[in-house]
Amino acid sequence: MNTSFGELEAILEHVPPHPEHLIRALHEVQAKFNYIPADALDAVCDHVGVARSQGWAVATFYKAFSLRPRKEHEISVCVGTACHIRGAAEVYETIVRGTRAHAGEESTPESDLSVEKVYCLGCCSMGPVAKVGNEIHANLDQKKVDTLIQTHSKR
């Protein structure tokens, strides 16, 4: 077991043992560890009472969950339609170039940033937008993107 047993216990303690709580439990595991460790996934399945196959099906189906550790700061660049027509593709490319990260996969060794494309953050009136943590950065342009990368990169 490479995840902290105590931390996992603390999560499962207040999750009722019923299949409908599988997704909720996985959300909490994801929030705690920044990914879904395999052993935690098994423990969640056993706890809520679903077959492990179902747990894996769910964890791989939904975008909110990741089976590999995510970077501490993930920049989610909205490429939804409203942002798309306001130049989201350019913003995304600029951020990727800026962090020298490969789309959604890797990130730069010297930063703790990673970049991913998401569809619609519901902030369509202020596109292009990006989200870091729970914070929305609106009306992005070249300058704002530079500041964004600088504030969230390790130096």
Partner 1 sequence: MKIHNLEGLLKAKQRGITKLYPPKKPKLLVGMATCGLANGAREVFDFFRSKARATSWNGLVEKTGCIGLCYQEPLVDLVIPGKPRLTYNRVDLVAAEKIWEELWNGDIPETSLMAWNDTDMILLDGGPRKLHQGETESFMRRFPSYAELDFLKYQQHIAMRNCGLLDPDNLDHYIARGGYFSLQKALTAMQPDEVIEEIIRSGLRGRGGGGFPAGIKWRSCRKAKGAPKYVLCNADEGNPGTYTDRGLLESDPHSILEGMLIGAYAIGSTEGYIYVRAEYPLAVETMQRAISAAREAGLLGKDILGTGFDFDMEISLGGGAYVCGESTALMASIEGKPGEPRAKYTHTAEKGLWDRPSNLNNVETWANVPVIISKGADWYNMIGTKKSTGTKMFSLVGKVNRVGLVEVPMGITIREMVNAVGGGVPSGGEFKAIQTGGPSGGCIPKDCWDLPLDFESLTHAGSMMGSGGMIVMDQSICMVDLARHFIDFLMDESCGKCVPCRLGLKRMHTMLERFTEGRGTIEDLDEMKSLARAIQDAALCALGGSAPNPVLSTIRYFRDEFEAHILDKRCPAKVCKRLITYSINSDACTGCAHCSDVCPTGAIVSTNRKTHRIETSLCIKCGVCAGVCEAGAIEVI
Residue 22 makes contact with partner 1 by CB under 8 A = yes
Q: What are phi and psi of 23, to 5 degrees?
A: -65, -40
* 56 CB-near residues (< 8 Å, 6+ apart): 41
Q: What is the DSSP string of 45-91?
A: HHHHT--HHHHHHHHHHSTT--SSPPPSEEEEEE-SHHHHTTTHHHH
Residue 64 makes contact with partner 1 by CB under 8 A = yes
Contact with partner 1 (CB under 8 A) among 35, 38, 72, 86 = 86
The 41-60 contact track toward partner 1, x by CB under 8 A, reads -------x-x---x--xx--
Contact with partner 1 (CB under 8 A) among 46, 84, 144, 153 = 84
Inter-residue contact 130 to 114 (CB < 8 Å): no
Inter-residue contact 140 to 95 (CB < 8 Å): no
Starting at the edge strand found earlier in the chain, the sheet holding 135-137 runs 113-118, 73-78, 130-132, 135-137
Residue 29 makes contact with partner 1 by CB under 8 A = no
Residues within window 89-108 making contact with partner 1, judged by CB under 8 A: 90, 93-94, 97
Residue 128 makes contact with partner 1 by CB under 8 A = no
Binding segment for partner 1 among 1-9, 67-75, 103-111, 137-145 (CB under 8 A)? 137-145
Q: Which is nearer to partner 1, 6 or 48 (CB)?
A: 48
Could you tell me how far CA 29 lies from the centroid of its own chain?
12
Least distance CB 78 / partner 1 (angstroms):
8
Residue 137 makes contact with partner 1 by CB under 8 A = yes
